[in-house]
Structure 1
């Protein structure tokens, strides 16, 4: 089930939200049956945009890096989900090796690593950090902003297993999205669980493949609820060969932008929406809010300046941007202290364990909020228990976001199955 969190929405419940809240028994049964057939990713975070007339996930991260932004009240939910996960994967486990990103001087990210270690320690595991960075050749202490210290150690590959000195885990948890490629040390492990699997990394994964899977999930779900899947599904197209720095492949981008804007206009007309549509052009693989721009007219791409081209030419770890997804833009209707905001839903296994808002005071409702200047505002657990109740109980408005998050989680499950290199063995 979904925790009852306090959202920034305080107005009347709209039609789509009402339908989802009223359909809770049907929705939960549908998810239950889906999870009987599919295995959820180990953990996941999903960025959701709520336009009022439409609510949709716009990004799905299989290596979430913001567990530190969840409130302490949410910790028991994450620990309980972690315990259920470990019992399924490796019930006799006592050691967990956590491999973080190499840029471990970012104190916000380090706080996330510390929180992950706390969650799995409380779930009953010995947790240690191993680094993929070849510069780490001995145990290295890293000072955190709160004064605590994390120790990261060099990885050892021995008889097909990854270890640390005097530490042989049955489970290895990656919190490194492999944007720079898959290191050989992680391949072909012997009797060890590597989670998430290698095809979840950005060296293999693409956003267009994910949203193709999401479209399939959205259609199935919407059929059960008797609604138009567009209301929860961002339309998209993609270009597999683009070089913004050299200016090649831009005709493909322009054609798809024009085509997609036309499709969105038709849906807006169908629903009487008067807002001007826009699309988001972004890297088809990668994260950290790099390689993203808002486009309202295909002609805008004719006048990209050098700075904009350079901004779109590389993504994380200096990797060249060579393919893009053109995604329907979903404006956000949520505000926190007069700044635009979008909810981010966090899950472990098939359970929603919390959420927070990404907030940006210098961005508009039609822009990417995952950029420098963003801040994170935790959602608090609703304090309903033990309080005098006057009138009907307040509906769990976060439930809607939990549903969208789990739909994206299920899509990631479909995606992982479709790209599993071992899948042929099970046909």
Structure 2
């Protein structure tokens, strides 16, 4: 099995950061074990990473991952084992799982993700049924999948303090729906184990909450292995009270962007980095790559044209954007299939179970890749990301990607701190 060819610093000598992470592997794993004794990891998550050669940082953490179909099938057994561990932790006698997906029944890629997730849970020994919150699903509905298989979705029914299907009473309710449009009343105060909890959804959670928690985690970690926390942590700020359509708050946003550009420029000078700083402005909640702009100065945000204002003002489910995170832009130096690429690492419980590259041939190194035209390439790791080859050379592929698994787990730990704060 080969790792995709990377025309980046990754193919050259190991980066200083990766070398430090590898050298500290026993301390790092011991530190993570201690953290997981104190904090409960989310049931699952995926982290978008950016590798700039001088910096390896998470730029987003999703608690309702929707790409299980893009993972390398060779790592399916890891996922099954991790699911067993997670379910035992939350509900030791769990047998029946109700999986609640997003409402978009026509998105074939998303349905393949639901099928892949169901398969992992079934192989972990669960009886799995799929319950929909979509008002269009009023009876058991069979949906066709691209590989010729089918999936049955049924309407979710509430009886007293329990939810289930007409003939199915689950022990665990697993959400693969990020609740962007709000918390459905049918799920409030149910007595079954609900994973992730309702406050993990985008109607409650914000990206700035996550990165505030990530700051805490990274400061401890950086001290542990003796690095500048900035090399694994993007700067961020927060601007609210915005209305892109009426241009309200536009000048405040532009000023915040300029302050951050200056801050990044100082770090670049300190580390001898010859790049043009940029920032990403994105909705403080939500996903699907909507409501995102890459800018090199605050001036770019003054006088946006109507198309740009429309793009920034509305995200998934038609939700209005009044609150943004202004995040340091981390360029990606990875190229896969002649396209700019970023790794997305998937975790179940506290375990890394695989990942893929998000690749976009039409985007630049300083742009958002989660956009129409992207494609996915499974990360073909020779071994799991959490197990470096202690006898291999620093540049061997197991070690090459160990750092990805470490930084992804730092984001997972930050998510567990976030969820505790409710």
Q: Same fold (TM over 0.5)?
A: yes
1:391 deviates by 8.0
- Unmatched segments (≥5 aa) in structure 2: 385-390
In the alignment, the residues of structure 2 paired with residue 330 and residue 373 of structure 1 have an alpha-carbon distance, to the nearest angstrom, of 21
Q: Is the 8 A contact 2:178 2:201 kept in 1?
A: yes
- 1:25-72 Cα offsets, whole Å, 9 max, x none, are 010011111111100000000000000111100000000000000111
In the alignment, the residues of structure 1 paired with residue 5 and residue 223 of structure 2 have an alpha-carbon distance, to the nearest angstrom, of 28
Sort the Cα spacing of 1:183 and 1:370 in 2 relative to 1 into closer, same or farther, 3 A.
same
- 1:168-203 Cα offsets, whole Å, 9 max, x none, are 00100000000000010010012x000000110000
Which residue of structure 1 lines up, in the alignment, with residue 405 of structure 2? 402
- 1:107-149 Cα offsets, whole Å, 9 max, x none, are 1100000000000000000000000112211001110011111
Which residue of structure 2 lines up, in the alignment, with residue 169 of structure 1? 170
Which residue of structure 2 lines up, in the alignment, with residue 189 of structure 1? 190
Sort the Cα spacing of 1:130 and 1:7 in 2 relative to 1 into closer, same or farther, 3 A.
farther
Q: Is the 8 A contact 2:4 2:336 kept in 1?
A: no
Q: Is the 8 A contact 2:313 2:320 kept in 1?
A: yes
Which residue of structure 1 lines up, in the alignment, with residue 122 of structure 2? 121
Q: TM-score, normalised by structure 2?
A: 0.95
Q: Is the 8 A contact 2:314 2:321 kept in 1?
A: yes
Q: Is the 8 A contact 1:102 1:131 kept in 2?
A: yes
1:383 deviates by 7.4
Which residue of structure 2 lines up, in the alignment, with residue 279 of structure 1? 279
Q: TM-score, normalised by structure 1?
A: 0.94
Does residue 419 of structure 2 align to residue 416 of structure 1? Answer: yes
Which residue of structure 1 lines up, in the alignment, with residue 50 of structure 2? 49
- Unmatched segments (≥5 aa) in structure 1: 385-389, 421-427
SS in 1 for 2:321: coil
Does residue 248 of structure 2 align to residue 248 of structure 1? Answer: yes
Which residue of structure 2 lines up, in the alignment, with residue 423 of structure 1? none
1:274 deviates by 1.2
1:192-211 residue pairs with structure 2 within 5 A?
192-211=192-211
- 1:141-170 Cα offsets, whole Å, 9 max, x none, are 110011111000011100110010111001
1:7 deviates by 7.0
Which residue of structure 1 lines up, in the alignment, with residue 95 of structure 2? 94
In the alignment, the residues of structure 2 paired with residue 326 and residue 412 of structure 1 have an alpha-carbon distance, to the nearest angstrom, of 19
In the alignment, the residues of structure 2 paired with residue 95 and residue 338 of structure 1 have an alpha-carbon distance, to the nearest angstrom, of 44
Which residue of structure 1 lines up, in the alignment, with residue 326 of structure 2? 326
1:245-324 residue pairs with structure 2 within 5 A?
245-324=245-324
Sort the Cα spacing of 1:400 and 1:6 in 2 relative to 1 into closer, same or farther, 3 A.
farther
1:337 deviates by 2.4
Sort the Cα spacing of 1:23 and 1:6 in 2 relative to 1 into closer, same or farther, 3 A.
farther
Provide the aligned C-alpha RMSD in A.
1.7
In the alignment, the residues of structure 1 paired with residue 46 and residue 144 of structure 2 have an alpha-carbon distance, to the nearest angstrom, of 26
Which residue of structure 2 lines up, in the alignment, with residue 359 of structure 1? 359
Which residue of structure 2 lines up, in the alignment, with residue 425 of structure 1? none
Which residue of structure 1 lines up, in the alignment, with residue 376 of structure 2? 376
1:195-234 residue pairs with structure 2 within 5 A?
195-234=195-234
1:351 deviates by 0.3
1:5 deviates by 6.3
Sort the Cα spacing of 1:148 and 1:64 in 2 relative to 1 into closer, same or farther, 3 A.
same
Sort the Cα spacing of 1:39 and 1:147 in 2 relative to 1 into closer, same or farther, 3 A.
same
In the alignment, the residues of structure 1 paired with residue 303 and residue 203 of structure 2 have an alpha-carbon distance, to the nearest angstrom, of 31
